[in-house]
Amino acid sequence: MDPQRFQDEWALETLAIRAGHHRTGEQEHSEPIFPTSSFVYASAAEAARKFSGDEPGNVYSRFTNPTVQTFERRLAAMEGGERCVATSSGMAAILSTALALLQAGDEIVASRSLFGSTVSLFDKYLGKLGITTRYVELSDLAAWEAAITPATKLLFAETPSNPLSEVVDIAELAEIAHRHGAWLAIDNCFLTPALQQPIALGADLVIHSATKYLDGQGRAVGGAVVGPDKLLEEVFGVVRTCGPCLSPFNAWIFTKGLETLGLRMRAHCANAQALAEWLQVHPAVMRVHYSGLPDHPQHALAARQQGGCGAVLGFEVTGAREGAWRVIDATRMLSITGNLGDVKTTITHPATTTHGRLSDAQKAAAGIGEGLIRVAVGLESLEDIRADLGRGLDALI
């Protein structure tokens, strides 16, 4: 029986568990790992056919590997895209997409509040290749349109943003991109296909750092690009030739991570929502940034576009940097780290870590104040998370 035969009818929860698994002759129940660099052939003629591409099949694991393909097929199905190409990291996914689709003279328009390394990749390394990037306010559709020129080929956004949880209307942004002959890529790291499916809203490409929620337990670094066959064939060409391929072992971890993604994301959202509501009424907290709160500027849009608001939230405490550092240093359980997308709750001070390289003016434009703390809410008991944060917050009153 082909386990894929019902795939078109399956709901997301089922795709997460069943899509992409082709059993070997051993009839194993769980997805196998193929830790092999290359593959062998029955004859010289078969080798020639496989190398030329006349016959489908694996040649070398920089090109294709069955474990990696299982992850790719499962994620493509969950994102509703025709094809997925897995990469060695989220940054490799963004670089491979850029190398595949852009050339010297082309322009990118991107949201200002991007992941730090994405900004460095665009400015420093794509800049060297003659590709320029303009940054706009994520939620300001008029600013996106105004920044587009005839040379613009790609619009790139992370929504919701980190750490202020701003949201852009993906369908409107896709319409603007297409009206100007550009592609729209959405970095879907913070919500994952369990909570947001940008392709269904009109985006051309979805980018993932699988390192985050797709794994969900902080075990491996990896990434992926999902989109139409035509564009993904180009991305595949870059990965195959330039080499940022995903290892079979990491692909297996991510495949197993996808199986519990929906459950984990719902639990992450529930903990984050409850924590945001608790923080909002704490006397040492001046402001909470979370799109699940009714006073968030894009709350209605988030409620319409997203199946949940994710688990990354920012909050501003009294006492500026000193206050923020005191809250962070008073924790005993939370992990002080810039990472996110883990069952373990993490806490960081963006102004001196993840956004530390920005100038004061850039920090001000991005809304990164000295009193801002970012928490990526994990799956520990809410009471324990609150107690750990409450110790430092109570000391600020």
35-43, 112-120, 131-139, 354-362 -> range binding ligand PLP (CB under 6 A): 112-120
| Contact status: 90 vs ligand PLP (CB under 6 A) | yes
Contact characters 170-209, ligand PLP, x per CB under 6 A? -----------------x-x-------------------x
Q: Which of 61, 67, 132, 211 binds ligand PLP (CB under 6 A)?
A: 211
φ/ψ region of 375 (left if φ > 0, alpha if ψ in -120 to 50, else beta) reads beta
Size of the site for ligand PLP (CB under 6 A): 14
| Contact status: 268 vs ligand PLP (CB under 6 A) | no
Q: Which of 83, 153, 212, 289 binds ligand PLP (CB under 6 A)?
A: 212
Q: Minimum distance between the CB of residue 223 and ligand PLP, rounded to whole angstroms?
A: 5
Q: Which of 31, 72, 79, 158 binds ligand PLP (CB under 6 A)?
A: 158
| Contact status: 89 vs ligand PLP (CB under 6 A) | yes
Q: Which residues make Cβ contacts (< 8 Å) with residue 1, sequence separation at least 6?
A: none
Alpha-carbon separation of residue 136 from 148, 165, 181, 204 (angstroms): 10, 16, 19, 20
Question: Which two three-digit tokens encode residue 244?
Answer: 């940022």
- The answer to whether 64 and 178 have CB atoms below 8 angstroms apart is no
Burial class (CB in 10 A: 0-12, 13-18, 19+), 267: middle
In this structure, the strands spanning 83-87 and 223-227 are: antiparallel
Q: Minimum distance between the CB of residue 237 and ligand PLP, rounded to whole angstroms?
A: 20
Alpha helices in 281-319 (DSSP H): 299-305
Contact characters 116-155, ligand PLP, x per CB under 6 A? -xx-------------------------------------
Alpha-carbon separation of residue 375 from 101, 163, 270, 278, 344 (angstroms): 35, 8, 14, 13, 11
Q: Which of 15, 16, 86, 91 binds ligand PLP (CB under 6 A)?
A: 91
| Contact status: 239 vs ligand PLP (CB under 6 A) | no
Question: Any idea of the CA torsion for 172, 177, 157, 359, to the nearest 10 degrees?
Answer: -110
Residue ranges that bind ligand PLP, judged by CB under 6 A:
89-91, 115, 117-118, 158, 187, 189, 209, 211-212, 221, 223
